[in-house]
């Protein structure tokens, strides 16, 4: 079983709609949860991180964490063509020393 | 400008020829890390360092070495590269441990081992 799992996609969403990206993890001791965005040919960049159960909002982005279900998600409201990218879920270990990434979900926003 | 730099950006080499990929950050970050990215496997951590002279293995350390003699530099060494080390490599740094801290990634080094 992979430690961090994401649906690889591609996920196609109409412009202006809500994009929903999901991630599950296997280590119950995981402490921090991150969403990175990676454009084709570029390096990953942080969108947001979360470490408490519940929702965390930042502009058009909302991260949701449910530790009991070992599930973290990212919602993108009012999707824009510039949101088209691969979204990487990352989870830190108990000591926050290591980061494990999922394989990423490729998101395409259709104008 | 705050950044992580890597050199070279592209490298084609042959099996067994030792090589070093350099990584440098100008943000006075304590934590540095190396990842490799392969299609279908995602980003996998090779080694990380929580401070000068403190390094530890990530998930895929075999065939790699690192050193952290200065805070700003974290070179990745392949003593005897093999074709299965052909990959896209990223160096990253963060202010402290990864928990709650953004990692800043370098531009990547695309390595091909023939």
| Confidence band for A66, pLDDT divided at 50, 70 and 90 | very high
Closest C-alpha to A26, from A80, A65, A69:
A69
| Euclidean distance between CA atoms A35 and A37, whole angstroms | 7
A32: closest chain B residue by CA: B99
Q: What is the DSSP string of B56-102?
A: EE-S--TT-EE--SSSSB--EEESS--GGG-EEEEEEEESSSSTT-P
Helix (H) or strand (E) holding B4: strand B4-7
Cβ–Cβ under 8 Å, residues B96 and B71: no
Token couple for A27: 């280590």
Chain B residues with beta carbon closer than 8 angstroms to that of A63: none
In this complex, the residue of B58, B107, B108 whose CB is nearest that of residue A98 is B58
Model confidence at A96: pLDDT above 80? no
Residue A1 is predicted with a pLDDT of 58
Which residues make Cβ contacts (< 8 Å) with residue A41, sequence separation at least 6? none
Among B91, B113, B111, which residue's Cα sits nearest to residue B9?
B111
In chain B, which residues touch A (CB < 8 A)? Answer: 33, 35, 40-45, 48, 50, 56, 58-59, 90, 97-100, 102-103, 105-108
Does B7 have pLDDT greater than 70? yes
Q: Give yes or no for residue A15 having a pLDDT over 70.
A: yes
Please name the residue of chain B whose CA is at the shortest distance from the CA of residue A37. B105
Percent of chain B with pLDDT over 90: 88
- Report CA B40 to chain centroid distance, whole Å: 20
What proportion of chain A, given as a percentage, has pLDDT over 70? Answer: 98
Query: What are φ and ψ of residue B81, in 5° steps?
Result: -60, 145
B106–A32 C-beta distance less than 8 A: no
Six-digit token pair at B99? 């928990």
| Type and span of the H or E element at A89 | strand A85-92
> Tell me, what DSSP letter sits at residue A58?
E
> What's the whole-number average pLDDT of chain A?
93
Residue B20, CA atoms < 13 Å, CB-side half-sphere? 8
Per-residue pLDDT reduced to its tens digit, B49-64: 999 999 999 999 999 9
Q: Which of A11-25, A66-80, A92-106 has the lowest mean pLDDT?
A: A92-106
Which among B56, B59, B99 has CB closest to A32? B99
Is residue B100 pLDDT above 80, yes or no?
A: no
């Amino acid at each position: 079983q992979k430690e961090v799992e994401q649906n690889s996609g591609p996920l196609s969403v109409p412009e202006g709609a809500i994009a929903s990206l999901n991630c599950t993890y296997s280590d119950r001791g995981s402490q921090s949860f991150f969403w990175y965005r990676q454009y084709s040919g570029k390096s990953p960049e942080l969108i947001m991180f979360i470490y408490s159960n519940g929702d965390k909002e930042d502009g058009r982005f909302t991260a949701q964490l449910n530790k009991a279900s070992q599930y973290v998600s990212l919602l993108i409201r009012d999707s824009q063509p510039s949101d088209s990218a691969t979204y990487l879920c990352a989870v830190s270990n108990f000591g926050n020393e290591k980061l494990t990434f999922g394989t990423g979900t490729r998101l395409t926003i259709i104008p | 400008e705050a950044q992580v730099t890597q050199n070279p950006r592209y490298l084609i080499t042959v099996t067994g020829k030792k090589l070093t990929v350099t990584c440098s950050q100008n943000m006075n970050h304590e934590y540095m890390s190396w990842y490799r990215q392969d299609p279908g496997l995602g980003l996998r951590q090779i080694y990380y360092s929580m401070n000068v002279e403190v390094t530890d293995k990530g998930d895929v350390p075999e065939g790699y070495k690192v050193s952290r003699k200065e805070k700003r530099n974290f070179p990745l060494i392949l003593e005897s590269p093999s074709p299965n080390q052909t990959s896209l490599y990223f160096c990253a740094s963060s202010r402290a441990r990864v928990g709650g801290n953004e990692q800043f990634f370098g531009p990547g080094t695309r390595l091909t081992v023939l």
